[in-house]
Amino acid sequence: MIRVGMGYDVHKLVEGRDLWLGGIKINHSLGLLGHSDADVLIHAICDAILGAANMRDIGYHFPDTSEATLNMDSKIILKKTVELISNKGYHIGNIDATVCAERPKINPHVSEMTKCMAEVMGIDEELISIKATTTEKLGFTGREEGMSAYAVCLIEK
C-alpha cells in the first residue's frame, strides 16, 4: 500500500531565539518562536508523515500545551513520528519539502539538513528533497515576520 501526506507549518521570527531548520542550528539574527524549538521544516515533514498514515497531526501527538514538549528538540519529534508510522507497518518512501524564507539563504544548508534528518529517520539521504524559495518580499515571509514550510511524504506498507 502506498499513501501520500501533505504538511504545512508557520512560525514567527523573533529576536532572542536560535534558528533551527531541518534539525540544524543556522546562524541568523532571528529565530523561530514556538513551544518547541519551532523547526518549521521538521514540523511540516512530521505533519506530512502523520497525514499519510492517517494519524492526525503533530499537535495531536505533541501538544503545545504540554510541559513534556516545551522547548523540545524537533529531531525527537521527527524520530517519534517515524516510530509511530512504523508501528502501523509503514516506512518512508520519500519526502519533498520547501522552506519559504527571505533570509537567511537556505540553500547553503540543505546538505547538512538532509544528512541530519536522514540519520534521525534512519533512511537514505536520497529519499529527502529540500528546496528553498522566497516570496519576492510579499506577505509575512517577505516582510521577514516569519517562515513557512511545505512538505509531501510518500509512505509504503
- The reply, when asked if residue 43 is annotated as ligand binding, is yes
DSSP string for 92-121: EEEEEEEEE-SSS-SGGGHHHHHHHHHHHH
Residue 111 near residue 105 (C-beta atoms within 8 A): no
- The reply, when asked if residue 59 is annotated as ligand binding, is yes
- The reply, when asked if residue 143 is annotated as ligand binding, is yes
- The reply, when asked if residue 3 is annotated as ligand binding, is no
- The reply, when asked if residue 11 is annotated as ligand binding, is yes
- The reply, when asked if residue 135 is annotated as ligand binding, is yes
- The reply, when asked if residue 58 is annotated as ligand binding, is yes
- The reply, when asked if residue 65 is annotated as ligand binding, is no
Q: How far apart are CA 117 and CA 122, in angstroms?
A: 8
- The reply, when asked if residue 140 is annotated as ligand binding, is yes
- The reply, when asked if residue 28 is annotated as ligand binding, is no
Phi/psi at 66 (nearest 5 deg)?
Answer: -100, 135
Pick out the residues of the known binding site.
9-11, 35-36, 43, 57-59, 133-136, 140, 143
Pick out the residues of the known binding site for a divalent metal cation.
9, 11, 43
